[in-house]
Amino acid sequence: MIPDTLVTTYLEMRRRSDFQPAWVDVPDAQIIRLGRVDVAFYRFLYSEVGAAWRWRDRAALDDTALNAALAPARVDVLYVAGCPAGYAELAVSDAAAGDVELAYFGLRGDFIGRGLGKHLLSHAIQSAWDDETTRRLWLHTCNLDSPHAIDNYIKRGFGIYQRTEEPMPAHYR
């Protein structure tokens, strides 16, 4: 059942020292940064990860627009036993301010509930802070996301700085 109201929560981390990593020892897991984002592979990840959460924004872009959106992004893919399990996408949202956005993040359904989400999130946060120009890492999530999402973000060191409510957009119904 889709709620009538979309509640969007914005979170941020302003100091690397706020980061509380949670690594999981999974011998057959590895995270690989894509050197070049292949649009077809990205569409597969986006669709598989986002289907349960009604992700729509990137699916509406044609290949040229999507490629342009991804060109400056850093996309890391989590593989488990050679199978793509999820991904994290970091985007510089304001280079002058040192703002980095965790633009997209999630796991494919079969990989949820094994601790891999906190592991992949920890990797993405560490990756953002490893860039010495980062001054602020931020993200937004909503009430269509996993019920565990906000808790995971807060446990890793993010703090809520804003919430908004609006009527549920038609494209999420």
Q: Print pLDDT tens along the chain (173 aa).
A: 889 999 999 999 999 999 999 999 988 999 999 998 899 999 999 999 998 888 888 888 999 999 999 988 999 999 999 999 999 999 988 888 999 999 999 999 999 999 999 999 999 999 999 999 999 999 999 999 988 999 999 999 999 999 999 999 888 77
pLDDT at 62: 95
pLDDT at 124: 98
Say if strands 74-80 and 83-94 run parallel, antiparallel, or are unpaired. antiparallel
pLDDT at 57: 85
67 torsion bin: left (phi>0), alpha (psi -120 to 50), beta (else): alpha
Is the Cβ–Cβ distance between 10 and 165 less than 8 Å? Answer: no
pLDDT at 51: 86
Classify the C-alpha dihedral 116-118-121-122 as positive or negative: negative
Is the Cβ–Cβ distance between 115 and 152 less than 8 Å? Answer: no
Is the Cβ–Cβ distance between 77 and 31 less than 8 Å? Answer: yes
pLDDT at 24: 92
What residue ranges define each of the domains in the chain, with the CATH number in brackets?
A: 5-172 (3.40.630.30)
pLDDT at 66: 95
119: Cβ–Cβ under 8 A, 6 or more apart, which residues? 22, 23, 24, 26, 29, 78
| CA-based nearest residue to 12, from 117, 72, 86, 97 | 97
12: Cβ–Cβ under 8 A, 6 or more apart, which residues? 136, 137, 138, 139, 158, 159, 161
